[in-house]
């Protein structure tokens, strides 16, 4: 039979199943296929904190959403066009997110009385399809016995029924790959490598994957195949990359570009552990990874390594930062280069370990005793984590200071196509170790001696010299007690303390001299409303602004890489606009800082539900402000922006 | 490279083997920083500082390759008074900082100076994990059985029932025995010495520096202000013969006036016990074996330390065994990885970030 081919400009698919069903892998493979095909894409993995939550229950549902398009997109999409549900719980947990008309592909196999009970279904919704009271009546539902067909397809390999059924995710992947014309070779190559040591499992997965494809192609259940053309992208070589991987590569690159060995002291914590895992593979670059006994020892070892001349790094999430606070203060006082990476998650306390949030900004800014300024940088997308890590290293090494890098759970696990940079284009960082004594001291009798003063400062950067052990003649002691200006000896002198508090702050403020001007995206140049953000909200804010502009209205966007110090032109930019909106996944932390520093009425748009902000809802808020500022009526209905509004 | 101490394990590596040596004789004065020493008059810390300043020149290392790290407490001011590299860090964390230094650099001799509160209370976790990993460093634990810098609260080694500012009705805490703890934490070198016995202190420091791995040295140290006399029984000439159980590798463990007392194995408890040598005969007396791979006997001997007022305590090197060190292993993994992946780092970086499934847009 002939199949129809329909052109689409973008699709959002959500794979959902039990946390043991391999949905993350399925979504990741579909993503890789789409990336290689050349679509632009953004992904949103969403999984429970439990490794294996009770099977078949709502809390045990794991999902992976991928948004791919023939043009450049910014978010993983507000609502899926297609839901693949592997069991009743996956259907129930996700159906509420679907817009009218969405397609649902359901594995009927697990719709048993027991599983329906677990998911809280009194009646099997699949039994009501087409009825007057069909609860899924708004959707195009395709019930398919994915598991049954998988078991049948792989029976030649003699696996147990349980093992055979586990390949059902590959059957589903094959079917979706057919539907959207994805290339299959990368996944077959992946499966061959992944299961190289277990031939029967390898063959079963590949067979299930192919069977899924063939099922789509040959049966009459699916009559439409969709085509989403590659997106135009600027010249270069690309790969799909998650934030945690890009961040790890950025740290390796920081070592290469500075010539310093990287030393990571870390304690496992979700969602930061993957950075520890990744860096532990790169010993050939001179990267040392120490899995410490606790968060404090992780940063302690990193500080020790920095003192000894390495680039000390510690990686954690919010609860770990709380534990490391005192040690960060030590690094502030000893003025040693150190990278503190916080992959933020839902808080407070243990909070939501696998969900995203931006609520550690004030902790990063102020969460220490005393006046302890720490520079803060934040990446805005998964691929941008690479550049953010290099920038954090530049600041840490140049200014001899701990630097906080604020990633988050969404950036960490989400992915996007990343244009691989040329190594020759990466910045180089000069550690500029001290090798000579730096101060001539004249005794009362006129005799001169050369001394090494560890707290003499560079006039431009206000950074102190970094003399590492093994350098003769520069032996010195540093520590957490207040230092005398210049000599670095212990000092309890009141005037000296006041001076040192101010000079440490001035040093961090001085970093602003090295920052490029902010890029304000204001296409018409006539916007009265500015939307300002930081971190992973870049995508939703950009998509929200696009919707507003598509409807014919003006809005400007600026996104902050540096949160401490702020870029020098920020104050002037804020004053240029009548209204400033600050969307954040917290209760208003950046807006508090902006209000405090610039006396500007930054209006918060705050969402703290563990998920990325949705572009459509944010666009409504932006539209409301535009209406107020310009005295116009803002209509953002699909009719006014077109159904193809980019996200 | 040589040190003043012969290694007990021929062919094995010394704790300072990879540290550059000095070709000129050094003096204690060179190791004295310009900082005014600010301990209380009569503090046992002075004696230890003098001993260390006297001992370091003997070690013969380049001064710039020595690093002292401390936490918080009276003893932790130590690095300020030595003209080496040093860090006076934060409470309890010195072993973790020293772990970073020792792992990052094979050419440094790394020392930790800590106290009973710093090492055993707030920093207990780091201490046991440093010992477990066997990072190449020497930990000097100054045990005065009291909190000095915070002015006189009981410490984790204070005897139960101790009346202090924070325990007016007597402390309810059972104390740690630092040596037992270190042995339980897989310590490969565990010793105890006394601040006022410079000769013994120096000999233990020499052996500790020569040991490759974490060397743990408990130093009994008198606090004249808040816990004066805590170690009088082992310092007083009239009582010390009965109070100190001297541990010398290869020698029968005897003490008391004219060695009248000794240790034998106690079949009833499985441990060791004190007997009159005359009652059991000289041949029955336990011969100390610090190199025994099994720490059981060393632990049993450590239990002869009084947990209350100190009337009896074994002094010397309890255990000294070879075990792979964490830092050598970590550097070894890096060295073998680098040997397997030669070439320009920039080219290798380009290959790394350009790996995985890629596509090119022209």
Calculate the alpha carbon distances from B174 to A472, B160, B310 in Å.
Answer: 47, 5, 14
> Which DSSP string corresponds to A403-416?
EEEEEEHHHHH-EE
The ipTM is 0.96
Q: How many residues does chain B have?
A: 362
Cβ of residue A283 closer than 8 Å to a chain B Cβ: yes
3-class SS letters over B211-267: CCCEEEEEEECCCCCCCCCCCHHHHCCCCHHHHEEEECCCCECEECHHHCEEEEECC
Write the Ramachandran bin of A162: left for phi over 0, alpha for psi from -120 to 50, otherwise beta.
alpha
The answer to whether the Cβ–Cβ distance between B103 and A284 falls below 8 Å is no
| A486 DSSP 8-state letter | B
DSSP H or E run through A44: strand A40-46
- Distance (Å, whole) CA A68 – CA A39: 6
- Distance (Å, whole) CA A522 – CA B112: 58
How far is A38 from chain B, CA to nearest CA, in Å? 7
Peptide linkage before A565 cis (omega within 30 of 0): yes
Interface of A with B in 448-507 (CB under 8 A): 469-481, 489-490
Contacts of A635 (CB under 8 A, 6+ apart): A551
Q: What residues in chain B have per-residue pLDDT under 50?
A: 1-4
Helix axes of A295-307 and B124-133: crossing angle, nearest 10 degrees: 70
- Give the burial class of B304: count Cβ atoms within 10 A of its Cβ; 0-12 exposed, 13-18 middle, 19 or more buried: middle
Optimal mutation site among A260, A475, A490, interface B, most CBs of chain B within 10 A? A475
Chain B residues in contact with A240 by the CB 8 A cut-off are 356-357
Q: Count of CB atoms within 10 A of residue A359's CB?
A: 20
Chain B residues in contact with A329 by the CB 8 A cut-off are 90
- The pLDDT score that the predictor gives to residue A49 is 83
Interface of B with A in 58-87 (CB under 8 A): 62-67, 69, 72, 79-80, 83-87
Q: What residues in chain A have per-residue pLDDT under 50?
A: 644-645
- Which of A329, A475, A489 has its CB closest to that of B85? A475
Cβ of residue B134 closer than 8 Å to a chain A Cβ: no
- The pLDDT score that the predictor gives to residue B1 is 40
- The pLDDT score that the predictor gives to residue B2 is 43
Q: Where are the alpha helices (DSSP H) in A68-145?
A: 88-95, 113-119
Beta bridge partner(s), residue B314 = B245
> Which DSSP string corresponds to B169-224?
T---PPPP-HHHHHHHTT-SEEEEEETT-HHHHHHHHHHHHHSSSEEEEEEE---T
Write the Ramachandran bin of A610: left for phi over 0, alpha for psi from -120 to 50, otherwise beta.
left
For A550, phi then psi, to 5°, come to: -60, -30
- Distance (Å, whole) CA B265 – CA B253: 11
Strand A61-69 to strand A40-46: parallel, antiparallel, or no bridges (unpaired)?
antiparallel
Nearest C-alpha neighbor of A267 from the set A330, A319, A224, A217: A319
Calculate the alpha carbon distances from A368 to A147, A322, A502 in Å.
Answer: 54, 9, 16
The answer to whether the Cβ–Cβ distance between A238 and B64 falls below 8 Å is no
């Amino acid at each position: 039979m002939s199949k129809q081919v329909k052109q689409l400009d973008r699709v959002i698919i959500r794979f959902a199943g039990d946390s043991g069903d391999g949905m993350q892998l399925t979504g990741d493979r579909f993503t890789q296929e789409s990336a290689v095909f050349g679509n632009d894409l953004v992904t949103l993995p969403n999984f429970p904190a439990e490794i294996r939550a009770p099977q078949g229950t709502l809390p045990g549902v794991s999902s992976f959403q991928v948004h791919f398009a023939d043009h450049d997109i910014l978010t993983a999409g507000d609502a899926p066009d297609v839901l693949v549900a592997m069991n009743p719980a996956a259907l129930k947990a996700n159906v509420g997110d679907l817009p009218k008309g969405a397609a649902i592909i359901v594995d009927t196999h697990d719709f048993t009385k027991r599983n329906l009970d677990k998911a809280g279904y009194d009646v099997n919704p699949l039994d009501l399809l087409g009825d007057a009271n069909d609860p899924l009546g708004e959707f195009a539902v395709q019930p398919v016995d994915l598991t049954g067909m998988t078991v049948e397809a792989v029976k030649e390999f003699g696996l147990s029924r349980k093992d055979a059924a586990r390949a059902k995710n590959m059957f589903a992947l094959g079917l979706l790959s057919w539907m959207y014309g994805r290339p299959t070779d990368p996944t077959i190559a992946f499966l061959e490598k992944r299961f190289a040591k277990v031939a029967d499992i390898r063959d079963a997965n590949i067979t299930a994957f192919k069977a899924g494809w063939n099922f789509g192609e040959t049966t009459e259940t699916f009559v439409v195949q969709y085509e989403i053309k590659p997106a135009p992208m600027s010249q270069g070589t690309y790969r799909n990359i998650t934030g945690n991987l890009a961040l790890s590569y950025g740290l390796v690159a920081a070592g290469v570009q500075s010539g310093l060995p990287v030393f990571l002291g870390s304690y496992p914590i979700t969602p930061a552990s993957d950075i520890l895992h990744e860096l532990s593979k790169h010993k050939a670059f001179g990267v040392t990874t120490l899995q410490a006994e606790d968060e404090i020892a992780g940063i302690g070892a990193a500080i020790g390594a920095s003192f000894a001349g390495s680039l000390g790094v510690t990686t954690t999430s919010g609860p770990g930062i709380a534990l490391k606070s005192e040690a960060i203060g030590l690094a502030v006082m000893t003025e040693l280069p150190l990278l503190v990476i916080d992959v933020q998650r839902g808080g407070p306390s243990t909070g939501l370990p696998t969900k995203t949030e931006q609520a550690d900004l004030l902790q990063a800014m102020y969460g220490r005793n005393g006046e302890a300024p720490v520079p803060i940088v934040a990446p805005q997308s998964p691929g941008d984590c690479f550049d953010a890590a290099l920038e954090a290293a530049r600041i840490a090494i140049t200014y001899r200071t701990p630097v906080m890098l604020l990633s988050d759970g969404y950036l960490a696990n989400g992915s996007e196509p990343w244009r691989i940079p040329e190594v020759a284009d990466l910045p180089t960082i000069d550690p500029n170790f001290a090798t000579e004594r730096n101060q001539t001291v004249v005794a009362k009798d006129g005799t001169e001696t050369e001394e090494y003063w560890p707290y003499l400062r560079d006039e431009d950067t206000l950074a102190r010299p970094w003399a590492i052990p093994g350098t003769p003649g520069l032996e010195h002691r540093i520590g957490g007690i207040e230092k005398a200006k210049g000599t670095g000896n212990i000092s309890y002198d009141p005037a000296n303390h006041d001076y040192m508090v101010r000079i440490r702050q001035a040093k961090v403020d001085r970093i602003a001299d090295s920052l490029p001007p902010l890029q304000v995206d204001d296409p018409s140049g006539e916007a009265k409303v500015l939307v300002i953000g930081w971190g992973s909200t870049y995508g939703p804010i950009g998509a929200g602004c696009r919707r507003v502009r598509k409807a014919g209205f003006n809005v400007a966007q600026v996104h902050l890489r540096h949160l401490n110090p702020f870029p020098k032109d920020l104050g002037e930019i804020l004053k240029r606009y009548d209204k400033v909106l600050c969307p954040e996944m917290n209760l208003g932390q950046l807006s508090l800082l902006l209000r405090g520093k610039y006396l500007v009425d930054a209006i918060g748009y705050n969402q703290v539900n563990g998920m990325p902000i949705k572009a459509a809802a944010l666009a409504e808020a932006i539209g409301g402000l535009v209406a107020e500022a310009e005295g116009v009526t803002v209509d953002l209905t699909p009719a006014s922006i077109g159904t193809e509004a980019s996200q | 490279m040589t040190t003043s101490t012969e290694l007990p394990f021929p062919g094995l590596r010394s704790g300072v083997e990879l540290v550059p040596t000095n070709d000129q004789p050094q003096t204690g004065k060179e190791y004295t920083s310009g900082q005014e020493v600010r301990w209380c008059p009569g503090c046992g810390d002075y004696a230890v500082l003098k001993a260390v300043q006297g001992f370091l020149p003997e070690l013969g290392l380049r001064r710039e390759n020595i690093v002292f790290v401390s936490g918080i407490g009276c003893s932790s001011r130590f690095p300020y008074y030595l003209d080496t590299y040093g860090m006076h860090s934060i409470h309890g964390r010195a072993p973790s900082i020293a772990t970073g230094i020792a792992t990052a650099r094979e050419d440094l001799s790394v020392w930790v100076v800590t106290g009973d509160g710093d090492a055993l209370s707030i920093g207990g976790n780091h201490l046991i994990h440093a010992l477990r990993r066997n990072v190449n460093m020497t930990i000097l634990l100054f045990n005065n059985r009291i909190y000095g810098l915070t002015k006189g609260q009981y410490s984790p080694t204070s005897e139960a029932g101790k009346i202090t500012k924070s325990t007016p009705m007597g402390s309810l805490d059972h104390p740690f025995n630092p040596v037992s703890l270190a042995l339980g934490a897989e310590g490969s070198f565990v010793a105890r010495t006394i601040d006022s016995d410079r000769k013994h202190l120096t000999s233990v420091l020499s052996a500790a520096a020569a040991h490759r791995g974490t060397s743990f040295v408990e130093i009994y140290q008198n606090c004249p202000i808040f816990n004066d006399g805590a170690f009088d029984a082992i310092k007083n000439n009239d009582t010390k013969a009965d109070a100190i159980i001297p541990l010398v590798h290869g020698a029968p463990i005897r003490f008391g006036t004219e060695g009248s007392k000794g240790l034998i194995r106690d079949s009833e408890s499985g441990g060791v016990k004190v007997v009159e040598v005359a009652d059991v005969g000289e041949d029955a007396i336990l011969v100390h074996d610090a190199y025994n791979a099994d720490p059981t006997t060393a632990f049993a001997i450590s239990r002869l330390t009084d947990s209350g007022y100190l009337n009896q305590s074994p002094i010397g090197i309890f255990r000294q065994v070879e075990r792979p060190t964490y830092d050598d292993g970590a550097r070894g993994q890096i060295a073998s990885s680098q040997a397997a992946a030669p070439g320009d780092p920039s080219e290798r970086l380009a290959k790394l970030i350009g790996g995985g499934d890629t596509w090119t847009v022209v």
